Amino acid sequence: MEALQHFFPDQSFDLGLISVNETKSEFTGDYTVVLFPFVKMLRQKPDELGNTLGVWLTEQHPELFTAFQVVSGFLNLTVNDRFFLDMLSRNWNNQCYGTAAASGKKVMIEYSSPNTNKPLHFGHLRNNFLGYAVGNILKVNGDTVVKANLVNDRGIHICKSMVAWQHFAQGATPESSGIKGDHLVGDYYVRFNDEYKAQVKELMASGMSEELAEKEAPIMKEAQQMLRAWEAGDEAVVSLWKQMNAWVYAGFDITYKNLGIDFDKFYYESNTYLLGKAIVEKGLEKGVLFRKEDNSVWIDLTADGLDQKLLLRGDGTSVYMTQDLGTAVLKYNDFGLDRSVYVIADEQNYHMQVLQLILKKLGEPCADGIFHLSYGMVELPSGRMKSREGTVVDADDMIEEMISMAEQQTKENGKADGFSGEEQKQLYRMIGLGALKFYLLRVDPKKKMIFNPQESIDLHGFTATFIQYAHARICSVLRKEQLPVMPAADVFAGKSIGEGLFEAEKHILKMLEQYPVAVETAAKEMSPSVLCNYCFSLAQAFNTFYDRHSIAKAESEEKKQMRLMTVVMIARTLRHAMSMLGIELPEKM
RNA sequence: GGUCCGGUAGCUCAGUUGGAUAGAGCAUCAGCCUUCUAAGCUGAGGGUCAUUGGUUCGAAUCCAAUCCGGAUCACCA
């Protein structure tokens, strides 16, 4: 690209017209320049231009290009092997290859954000993996990243669990029942709903309308009463609330740890739910917001193609949006953020659009940095998961199931023979969790996805296992062969290398050279799937090479050393990329 | 009804700012282990890129309309 710019010293035309692509495999060459864009400008036939350009490039930059071919409007350039070998000698042992220089930008990524009335389910997994991975990707790409979790720890949902616990638990605790805290609390949430349904049914049987029965069910009134007591600071209620939330957090900690996920900062809605009112007051003064007759406060977004939105109830209490306004400003003030990323399902697209627009209208500086990383819902083959219908797949169960599937398949293949018990356990974890993470991250976030249990445990093809296996094969070779011991200069002085890389070798080096670009793209698009695809292709390229050429019995000592450097760099790159996704690679499998 | 998102092989998905004969994996079929790990490799079949029109040297990609699927438009969070 840079070489090309010198060919056109005349800056009168747009250099953006130059487009360079990788050459398709059916043609000879490595990179292709598309000639059509220049034709008009230079009034030359494409093929003539291609020849002139090709001759010029190979003469001026023999260190870069060794040959060219012009095929109907496309200039295919063959890159000098030396270029790739230089890249290899510079980077094969570079721990930081792919890590970008600090950008000076501060980014917060909020994800997970669970409710504290029930355990995490399968739908949360996509959120958790996505947030964790994107946070890492941004970090590697140079940003300073704060991983945040906004815990939804208050509200009617938790009161429901509390009421049911009071009625039915007879003082059961996680310790006394042996049930994980989040599951225990979740059980009483389910119990509440059962009881509520029964009461509604009963009231309707005695002649009440459904609508009225839903309002009058005693257990629901009790929960609402409890919420009011909580907001009034009632000691007994607050103390029960603290206790049950503590159980849930202990449970979440275990789940997060099992998932390999962490956070730098926790926000709790019980601390933030009152924020935002001051912002609303300011908005009223500025005249951006208006008050209706019943004293409720609204913003009119109809001019922007949206609706009117409530920001404060008539009685002065906040709604969801009010809290979110407050939290957005709080985050910004806490860290001085350049960007604030929200990992939230696409059902909240409208909410997030409105949130950003309101902040903008209020003149809040945090508005511009807000980005909604929206992802599609995870559905089962039978349709959408519904907690009320019991079709929810529990996250803890899912993890365990994946690990035991991994164990079963590993044993069937006899792959863990000679492993110690502890090594086996670790391996099953790596494979099971890796498969799950990869399965959820390999698809573009904004597409909704169907979780197919059978497919997710498949360990062939486009999976984490495939990549882990390639890594293990490399480690196996490196255990037997001496790491490159010759100085790079000596290795590459050998004529046997300079005279021609095999296609499979060159393909790998070309891919490795492109790794930093892949990281940059993944960061720019906030898409871990870019890395999934990259790693799969690299592993595939390695497998092809491995099948075709021997490392141990290479054609010359220099070539052997060069191949060892190459596979070291492949393994390092795979680890670097996969660790951003939270996937570990075993040395043996 | 308004807004937003999606529609690519039987299935699940890639496809950079428009570029050559649209690519992977799964599934199906045919080959490859006395030699560095066969959870692998090689090959075959499989397509009206939802439909129609437009923009141009050139469209899966950009524009318009239509069809199908989903989300959302709460004094729930």
| Mean pLDDT, residues A228-253 taken together | 95
Looking across all nucleic acid strands, the nucleotide with the smallest C1' to CA distance from residue A477 is B36
Q: Which CA-bearing residue is nearest the C1' of B36?
A: A477
Which bases of chain B come closer than 7 Å to a protein CB?
2-6, 12-17, 19-21, 23-27, 35-42, 57-58, 70-77
With a cut of 60, say whether residue A498 has pLDDT above it.
Answer: no
Nearest to A436 by CA among A183, A121, A119, A122: A122
Ranges A71-80, A94-103, A158-167, A428-437: which has the least confidence: A71-80
pLDDT of the residue at A10: 46
The pTM assigned to this predicted structure is 0.94
Residue A287: alpha-carbon gap to chain centroid: 40
Looking across all nucleic acid strands, the nucleotide with the smallest C1' to CA distance from residue A295 is B75
| Mean pLDDT, residues A568-585 taken together | 97
Count Cβ atoms below 10 Å from residue A488 Cβ, excluding itself: 18
Instruction: Read off the tokens for A367.
Output: 């508005």
The C-alpha atoms of residue A372 and residue A357 are separated, in whole angstroms, by 13
pLDDT of the residue at A450: 79
Looking across all nucleic acid strands, the nucleotide with the smallest C1' to CA distance from residue A298 is B75
Backbone angles phi, psi at A304, to 5 degrees: -95, 10
CA A447 to C1' B67, whole Å: 21
Q: Which CA-bearing residue is nearest the C1' of B58?
A: A36
The C-alpha atoms of residue A73 and residue A70 are separated, in whole angstroms, by 7
Per residue in A377-402, pLDDT (tens digit) is 887 766 666 655 556 788 999 999 99
The H or E element that residue A75 is part of is strand A74-79
Looking across all nucleic acid strands, the nucleotide with the smallest C1' to CA distance from residue A588 is B37
CA A309 to C1' B49, whole Å: 40
Looking across all nucleic acid strands, the nucleotide with the smallest C1' to CA distance from residue A461 is B25
Query: Does ipTM come in above 0.90?
Result: yes
| Mean pLDDT, residues A92-113 taken together | 95
| Mean pLDDT, residues A503-510 taken together | 93
CA A142 to C1' B25, whole Å: 32
Instruction: Read off the tokens for A135.
Output: 């946070």
With a cut of 80, say whether residue A356 has pLDDT above it.
Answer: yes
Q: Which CA-bearing residue is nearest the C1' of B23?
A: A24
Q: Which CA-bearing residue is nearest the C1' of B11?
A: A455
Q: What is the mean pLDDT of chain A?
A: 90
Q: Which CA-bearing residue is nearest the C1' of B5?
A: A446
Question: Could you tell me the pLDDT band of residue A451, with boundaries at 50, 70 and 90?
Answer: confident
Question: Could you tell me the pLDDT band of residue A486, with boundaries at 50, 70 and 90?
Answer: confident
Ranges A5-9, A336-340, A389-393, A528-532: which has the least confidence: A5-9
CA A24 to C1' B51, whole Å: 31
pLDDT of the residue at A15: 53
For CA atoms A200, A203, A208, A213, give the dihedral sign. Answer: negative
CA A124 to C1' B73, whole Å: 25
pLDDT of the residue at A227: 93
CA A485 to C1' B16, whole Å: 39
With a cut of 50, say whether residue A12 has pLDDT above it.
Answer: no
Q: Which CA-bearing residue is nearest the C1' of B13?
A: A443
- The secondary structure of A487-502 as a DSSP string is -HHHHHH-HHHHT---
Q: Which CA-bearing residue is nearest the C1' of B33?
A: A547
CA A584 to C1' B26, whole Å: 24
The C-alpha atoms of residue A577 and residue A528 are separated, in whole angstroms, by 10
CA A3 to C1' B26, whole Å: 43
- Percent of chain A at pLDDT exceeding 90: 67
pLDDT of the residue at A305: 81
* Measured CA distances, A322 to A33, A166, A474, A536 (Å): 53, 31, 54, 44
Instruction: Read off the tokens for A162.
Output: 């509390």
| Mean pLDDT, residues A110-120 taken together | 94
The C-alpha atoms of residue A428 and residue A411 are separated, in whole angstroms, by 10
Show Cβ contacts of residue A448 under 8 Å, excluding neighbours closer than 6 positions: A346, A376, A377, A378, A379
Per residue in A263-279, pLDDT (tens digit) is 999 999 999 988 899 99
CA A39 to C1' B56, whole Å: 14
The C-alpha atoms of residue A70 and residue A36 are separated, in whole angstroms, by 12
Count Cβ atoms below 10 Å from residue A126 Cβ, excluding itself: 23
Nearest to A410 by CA among A582, A258, A538, A588: A588
H helices of A234-362, where? 235-259, 269-272, 277-286, 320-335, 349-361
| Mean pLDDT, residues A561-569 taken together | 95
With a cut of 70, say whether residue A230 has pLDDT above it.
Answer: yes
With a cut of 60, say whether residue A13 has pLDDT above it.
Answer: no
CA A479 to C1' B34, whole Å: 23
With a cut of 60, say whether residue A536 has pLDDT above it.
Answer: yes
pLDDT of the residue at A53: 84
Amino acid at A322: T
Looking across all nucleic acid strands, the nucleotide with the smallest C1' to CA distance from residue A539 is B40
pLDDT of the residue at A490: 76
Looking across all nucleic acid strands, the nucleotide with the smallest C1' to CA distance from residue A305 is B3
Looking across all nucleic acid strands, the nucleotide with the smallest C1' to CA distance from residue A318 is B75
H helices of A69-153, where? 81-91, 122-140
Q: Which CA-bearing residue is nearest the C1' of B70?
A: A448
pLDDT of the residue at A337: 95
CA A67 to C1' B57, whole Å: 26
Looking across all nucleic acid strands, the nucleotide with the smallest C1' to CA distance from residue A410 is B39
H helices of A104-234, where? 122-140, 156-168, 174-177, 181-205, 210-216, 218-231
CA A445 to C1' B43, whole Å: 34
| Length of chain A in terms of residues written | 589
Question: Could you tell me the pLDDT band of residue A9, with boundaries at 50, 70 and 90?
Answer: very low
With a cut of 60, say whether residue A215 has pLDDT above it.
Answer: yes
Radius of gyration of chain A (CA): 30
Question: Could you tell me the pLDDT band of residue A482, with boundaries at 50, 70 and 90?
Answer: confident
Q: Which CA-bearing residue is nearest the C1' of B77?
A: A320
